[in-house]
Structure 1
Amino acid sequence: LLSGDVDDTHQVKSTLQVTGIGAQSGASVNESADGQVITNASGSLSKMIDPSTPTSSLVAQGNTITVGSYKFEAVNDAYSISQLTFNLAGGYPAIQTLKLMDGSSQVGTSLNSANEVTFNLATPIHVLANSSKTIDLEATLGTIGTYAGATGSDIKATLTGLIERDSQGTAEVIKGLSIPSNSQYAYRSVPTISTLPLPSGILTVGTKTLQKFSIAASSANPVSWSKIAFTVDKTTSAQLDGCSTAGCTNVKLYDGSTEIPGVMVASANFGSTDKTGTITFVPNTEQQIAASQTKTYELKGLVSGKVTSGEYIMTRIANPSSYAASAKAFANVGALIYADVSTAGTVSAGDVRKTAVDSYAATNDSTTAGTITLTEFANDVPTTIFTSNGSTMSSDVAEWTVTSVAGDETDVTAIVLTHDDGAVVTMTGGAYKNGETLTVTRTAGGYAANTMVATGNSDLGLALTPGVAPTASIVWSDVSAQSHSISTGDWTNDALVNNLPFDTQTLSGSGSN
Structure 2
Amino acid sequence: MTGTTFTSANLTNLYASYSIDNGPTNTTSIKNTASNNNDFSVSFSLPANKTMSIDLYANLSGTVTMGNSLKTSLSLSGNGSQSGTNVTTVAVDGQTISNNNPSLLITRDASSPISSLVDDSGNVRTVSYRFESQNDTYTITQLAFNIVDPSVVSKVYLKEGSNILQERPGSTSVVFSDFGNIQVQANTYKVLDVELVMSNVGAGAGNSGAEVTTSINVGGSLVRSSSGSLIVPNGNPLPGNHIYTYKAFPSVNVITQSTGNNEDRLTAGDNALLKFNVVPNGGNISWKKMVVNVTKTSGNIIADGVRIVDLSSGQTIATLPATDSDCEDPALTTCTITIILPTEEQLSNSKSYEIRGAISGTLSINSYITAQVSRSTLAHVAPAPYATVAATTSNFVWSDNSALAHSLTTNDWNNDNHINTFPLPWTRTVK
TM-score bracket, normalised by the shorter chain, equals 0.7 to 0.9
Q: Does 1:136 align with 2:199?
A: no
Kindly state the Cα deviation for residue 278 of structure 1 after the two structures are TM-superposed.
0.8
Secondary structure (helix, strand or coil) at the match of 1:280 reads strand
CA distance in 2, matches of 1:206, 1:288: 31
Q: Which of 268, 288, 291 is the matching residue for 1:226?
A: 288
1:123 maps onto 2:198 in alignment: no
2:389, 2:415 within 8 Å by CA — same for their partners in 1? no
Aligned length: 349
The TM-score normalised by the length of structure 1 is 0.64
Relative contact order: is structure 1 or structure 2 higher (C-alpha 8 Å, sep ≥ 6)?
1
CA distance in 1 between partners of 2:236 and 2:178 (Å): 19
Q: Partners in 2 of 1:9 and 1:93 — Cα distance?
A: 59
The answer to whether the Cα contact below 8 Å between 2:107 and 2:235 also exists between their aligned partners in 1 is no
1:283-302 equivalences in 2 (<5 Å): 283-290=341-348, 293-302=349-358
Counterparts of 1:340-355 in structure 2 under 5 Å? none
User: What are structure 2's unaligned runs of at least 5 residues?
Assistant: 16-27, 31-38, 43-54, 59-69, 71-96
Do 2:208 and 2:383's aligned partners in 1 also have CA atoms closer than 8 Å? no
Spell out the pairing of 1:199-278 with structure 2 (5 A cutoff). Answer: 200-219=263-282, 221-241=283-303, 243=304, 249=305, 251-256=306-311, 257-261=314-318, 263-264=320-321, 265-266=323-324, 268-278=326-336
Q: Does 1:170 align with 2:229?
A: yes
8 Å CA contact 2:375, 2:395 repeated in 1: yes
Q: What amino acid does structure 2 have at the position aligned with 1:47?
A: I
1:13 equivalent in structure 2? 11
Identity score, percent = 29
Q: 1-side partners of 2:189 and 2:12: how far apart?
A: 31
Tell whether 2:414 aligns with 1:505.
no
The one-letter code sitting in structure 2 at the alignment partner of 1:109 is E
After superposition, what is the alpha-carbon deviation per residue over 1:355-398, rounded to whole angstroms, capped at 9, x for unaligned?
xxxxxxxxxxxxxxxxxxxxxxxxxxxxxxxxxxxxxxxxxxxx
CA distance in structure 2 between the aligned counterparts of 1:288 and 1:474, rounded to whole angstroms: 14
* Equivalent of 1:314 in 350, 370, 388: 370
Which residue identity lines up with residue 320 of structure 1 in the other structure?
A: S
Measured on the aligned residues, the alpha-carbon RMSD in Å equals 2.6
Residue in 1 that maps onto 2:126: 67
Which residue of the partner structure matches residue 248 of structure 2? 189
Contact 1:217–1:289 (CA<8 Å) still a contact in 2?
yes
Query: What secondary structure sits across from 2:249 in the alignment?
Result: coil
> Which blocks of at least 5 consecutive residues in structure 1 are unaligned?
1-6, 21-28, 244-248, 332-465
Quickly say closer, same or farther: Cα 1:169–1:504, change in 2 above 3 A: same
Task: Give the drift of 1:31.
Answer: 5.0
CA 1:313–1:172 in structure 2 vs 1: closer, same or farther (change >3 Å)?
Answer: same
Deviation at 1:310, TM superposition (A): 1.3
Match of 2:152 in 1: 94
Alpha-carbon distance change, 105 to 270 in structure 1, aligned in 2, over 3 angstroms? same
Look up the equivalent residue of 1:297 and give its one-letter code.
Y
Letter of the 2:281 counterpart: S
C-alpha contact (below 8 Å) 1:13/1:34 kept by paired residues: no
Q: TM-score, normalised by structure 2?
A: 0.75
- Contact 2:223/2:232, CA 8 A, preserved across alignment: yes
Is the contact made by 2:150 and 2:172 (CA closer than 8 Å) also made in structure 1?
A: yes
Residues 468 and 491 in structure 1, CA contact (< 8 A), matched pair in contact too = no
In the alignment, the residues of structure 2 paired with residue 117 and residue 94 of structure 1 have an alpha-carbon distance, to the nearest angstrom, of 15
User: Residue 389 of structure 2 aligns to a residue in which SS?
Assistant: coil
Q: Does structure 1 residue 327 correspond to structure 2 residue 386? A: no
Q: Counterpart of 1:13 in structure 2: which amino acid?
A: L
> Is residue 412 of structure 2 the alignment partner of residue 493 of structure 1?
no
User: Matches of residues 138-153 of structure 1 in structure 2 within 5 Å?
Assistant: 138-153=195-210
Which residue does the alignment assign to 1:107?
165
Describe the shift of the 1:281–1:165 C-alpha distance in structure 2 as closer, same or farther (beyond 3 A): same
Distance across 2 between alignment mates of 1:506 and 1:328: 35
Matched position secondary structure for 1:286: strand
Range with bigger deviation, 298-307 or 73-82: 298-307
Distance 1:204 1:51 in 2: 49
Q: Distance in 2 between matches of 1:252 and 1:9?
A: 84
